[in-house]
Structure 1
Amino acid sequence: MTAHADVIDLARRLVRCPSRAGIDDYGPVLDVLEDWLAGRELPFRRLHDGEGCAVGLLIEVAGARSGPWWALDACVDTAPYGDEDAWSFAPDSGEVVDGWLHGRGAADSKLAAAMFCGIAAELHGRADALHGGLAVLLDADEHTGGFGGARAYLADPEAVRPAGVMIGYPGLDEVVVGGRGLWRAVIAVHAASGHSGSRRTAPGAVSRAAHLVRLLEEAELPGAEGEFPLPPKLTVTSCHGGQGFSVVPDRCELGVDIRTTPSFDADAAERLVRTAVGELDLRVPAPRPTTITPVAAWPPYRLVKDQQPAAALLEAAAREGLVVRPKTAGPSNIGNLLAGEGIPATAGFGVRYEGLHGVDERACLEDLPAVHAVYRRAVLSLLGSP
């Protein structure tokens, strides 16, 4: 079996093993990977979270010569299927049709996981020529947003901390070298309760929350500045309050998501929200002050020109004849977690795809040889091997 055929066979087996985040047991998909790795005598071990649950698999290929370690990362958990009746093929199909691998996780990111296993197997056979080492992280807790596999890897005292990470999200035209950060909070707006038919005229919590939404959405945000090409963005993502029709609601909760940039960071985002809340409580008083509960924060990041591992990946793509541009992403990604740890990361170079997180997810296998060659070339250059 050729190397590419071996990778495709493994990817098909992975797609046929459901691993939906928060729904399926991750043990079976990790078993598939472990069987493949054991058959090639690759060193690997499971990673666990603080409660002892398996959240990933770590492969380590140590070079015989001194040097930094680098990591490849792909997730093996997936988004849910959604409306299965809307799919034109089974979500766990794993079939190859007209050069496309079908099924949930084909694009994000089981094909990349299989490809990275293939690269690790090749490098394991030539470890004597490598400087430093290669880790392959197969994260089984990525789509939850918890990034449990990455967190367990970074916290593992036996693992060598990587000098940089390349994350195998799909997409053939771009290498993601940065992303906006985020600051998220739940805001509880209060009011005095009562009967909706009474003579009382004080606004309820839902009305006060609507006023706060206007204040937030009218707040002035800076534009894009300097080397970071995207501006910050504020979105009110949820609103929950009230019940029925006869009661004036005394509590309404808003969810607020602010995408941050180097010039408008998490502290600036929180100050903006606190200013709006202070104005609400002053203009439209209530028996209890509005409360803000921050729930998540990720720093923005952007690799500078010629910074590794982006430079190696972009150069490898050019040598393979691909036109690939660096990109700063609007959404956050696991690169933000790594940036917070001081680890540079790329995210988002892989095969073409369709239906990512939607119906009829599929990945283009025609692109696999070139993408495989790019990652192989990049890794070998980072490990100082011709």
Structure 2
Amino acid sequence: MKLTDPTQTLAALIRCPSVTPEEGGALTTLAEMLDRLGFRNDRVTFSDEATPDVENLYSRLGSGGPHLMFAGHTDVVPVGDEAAWTQGPFGAEIVDGEMYGRGAVDMKGGIACFVSALARLIERKGAPEGSVSLLITGDEEGPSINGTEKLLAHAKAKGESWDAAVVGEPTNPAEMGDMIKIGRRGSLSGTLTVDGVQGHVAYPHLADNPLRGLVMLADALLDPPLDAGNERFPPSNLEITSIDTGNTATNVIPARTTARFNIRFNDMWSAETLADELRARLERAARQAGLRPGRDPVRYTVEFDQRSAPSFLTRDDALIDALSEAVREATGRTPALSTTGGTSDARFIKDYCPVVEFGLVGKTMHMVDERVALSDLESLTGIYELFIERWFERQRSRAG
């Protein structure tokens, strides 16, 4: 395998069936590539109650500073209906200039390009004057309990520290060079339960339909909007994702109903202040007559998921500028600096060092026939190579 060729490095990774939480040979294959480049590899497995064990990899090249981290994951989502794929999901077949396979863009492609970028840089001028590390988990597509968060703590306990990080998630909406993620909205999930009195639909005065109360409470969660956003983030948004009574009969008023919801919030809120706001809205709405004239206040409970994700914004100009310059030089495009999208493992890394995200075009991620253009692999490899070089140059200039 030629490590300077991202087509070859990606094909080797795709051929490992690493559907979360299975390692599938992906970390072994990656560790062998990094060993050839002079990295020191640390394989570690983490466990937790009621979650599968997960293997992870931390590799470092060099021993001094400055220290740049690349972070990502080799686990992939299930293939779905394999018969619907036009090419095998783990075959890495190339058709019309595109490589097919689960993980091609999310995100084995980003890892392959970073490895090839380093290999090219080392071949051209030697290893950077400092350190480069790869922090790779097998738990990003799973519950994210035995992955990046624990691997960061493990590495720090062994004396590791970092000056900046890049996460190789697919960030570009349409073309290479479209977008760099410099932050992420937070995520908070909750469960709203409303209790009523079960009864016959023909005798509603003897029952209390919890769905009437739920409609009132749900409306209070949704209106008015949480905020209008700001120059850094779009407006925070709450979506109700399920409503369930467990009722299979059409002539029975149910005794209880449950709604689940998720909020993606900007830096105008924390998980705590947002939960307080929603509790206040529910309390006011519960006392309204509305759909329940003559009734006592709605009886409800609301619980919030303890594993919320905070919003964050990276303000490290040296990191952002070095990556933006590399994108412009390689593609001719000026990337948008964005905080859109869902959560990623950057939410854990931001507690250790400044972090940005940049990777491939994400149009086919998680889809049947996930695939990547070979031209995009070459483009991202070139961007990463320029970025690594520019970032270390800026660090030397700053130190001088």
CA-CA distance at 1:122 after TM superposition: 5.7
**Cα deviation 1:226-267 (Å, max 9, x = unaligned):** x31411111111222232215432222221111111223323
Equivalent AA in structure 2 for residue 362 of structure 1: R
CA-CA distance at 1:3 after TM superposition: 4.2
Q: Which residue of 2 aligns with 1:348?
A: 358
Q: For 1:44, which of 26, 34, 41 is the aligned residue?
A: 41
- The residue matched to 2:208 in structure 1 has which SS? coil
Q: Which residue of 2 aligns with 1:294?
A: 305
Q: Which residue of 1 aligns with 2:69?
A: 71
Q: For 1:31, which of 9, 28, 31 is the aligned residue?
A: 28
Q: Which residue of 2 aligns with 1:166?
A: 166
Q: Which residue of 2 aligns with 1:363?
A: 372
CA-CA distance at 1:121 after TM superposition: 4.8
Identical amino acids, percent of aligned pairs: 24
CA–CA distance in 1 between the matches of 2:331 and 2:115?
Answer: 24
1:205 aligns with 2:203: no
CA 1:47/1:124 → structure 2, altered by over 3 Å: closer, same or farther?
A: farther
CA–CA distance in 2 between the matches of 1:55 and 1:151?
Answer: 13
**Cα deviation 1:2-37 (Å, max 9, x = unaligned):** 5443x3223112212222225xx2142223223434
CA-CA distance at 1:159 after TM superposition: 5.2
In 2, are the aligned partners of 1:174 and 1:348 still within 8 Å (CA)? yes
CA-CA distance at 1:119 after TM superposition: 4.1
**Cα deviation 1:57-77 (Å, max 9, x = unaligned):** 1111124xx423211112211
Q: Which residue of 2 aligns with 1:181?
A: 186
CA 1:131/1:176 → structure 2, altered by over 3 Å: closer, same or farther?
A: same
Q: Which residue of 2 aligns with 1:8?
A: 7
CA 1:15/1:223 → structure 2, altered by over 3 Å: closer, same or farther?
A: same
CA–CA distance in 1 between the matches of 2:76 and 2:268?
Answer: 33
For structure 2, the 5+ residue unaligned runs are none
1:141 aligns with 2:139: yes
Structure 1 window deviating more from structure 2 (170-179 vs 114-123): it is 114-123
In 2, are the aligned partners of 1:182 and 1:257 still within 8 Å (CA)? yes
CA-CA distance at 1:155 after TM superposition: 0.7
Equivalent AA in structure 2 for residue 248 of structure 1: I
CA–CA distance in 2 between the matches of 1:337 and 1:379?
Answer: 22
Q: Which residue of 2 aligns with 1:253?
A: 258
CA–CA distance in 2 between the matches of 1:298 and 1:61?
Answer: 31
**Cα deviation 1:286-321 (Å, max 9, x = unaligned):** 6854232334322222223x6242221112222334
- The residue matched to 1:228 in structure 2 has which SS? coil
CA-CA distance at 1:45 after TM superposition: 1.6
1:223 aligns with 2:228: yes
Q: What's the Cα RMSD here?
A: 2.8
CA 1:35/1:280 → structure 2, altered by over 3 Å: closer, same or farther?
A: same
Q: Which residue of 2 aligns with 1:110?
A: 108
Q: Which residue of 2 aligns with 1:19?
A: 18
- The residue matched to 1:290 in structure 2 has which SS? strand
In 1, are the aligned partners of 2:234 and 2:266 still within 8 Å (CA)? yes
CA–CA distance in 2 between the matches of 1:262 and 1:222?
Answer: 11
TM normalised by structure 2 equals 0.84
CA–CA distance in 1 between the matches of 2:96 and 2:41?
Answer: 34
Alignment of 1:364-383 (within 5 A): 364-383=373-392
TM normalised by structure 1 equals 0.87
CA–CA distance in 2 between the matches of 1:167 and 1:260?
Answer: 21
CA 1:321/1:248 → structure 2, altered by over 3 Å: closer, same or farther?
A: closer
For structure 1, the 5+ residue unaligned runs are none
- The residue matched to 1:296 in structure 2 has which SS? coil
CA 1:145/1:383 → structure 2, altered by over 3 Å: closer, same or farther?
A: farther
CA–CA distance in 2 between the matches of 1:113 and 1:135?
Answer: 12
Equivalent AA in structure 1 for residue 72 of structure 2: A
CA 1:159/1:308 → structure 2, altered by over 3 Å: closer, same or farther?
A: farther
Structure 1 window deviating more from structure 2 (100-109 vs 169-178): it is 169-178
CA 1:124/1:158 → structure 2, altered by over 3 Å: closer, same or farther?
A: farther
In 2, are the aligned partners of 1:4 and 1:369 still within 8 Å (CA)? no
1:309 aligns with 2:306: no
CA-CA distance at 1:105 after TM superposition: 0.5
CA-CA distance at 1:337 after TM superposition: 2.8
1:233 aligns with 2:237: yes
In 2, are the aligned partners of 1:193 and 1:249 still within 8 Å (CA)? yes
Q: Which residue of 1 aligns with 2:278?
A: 273
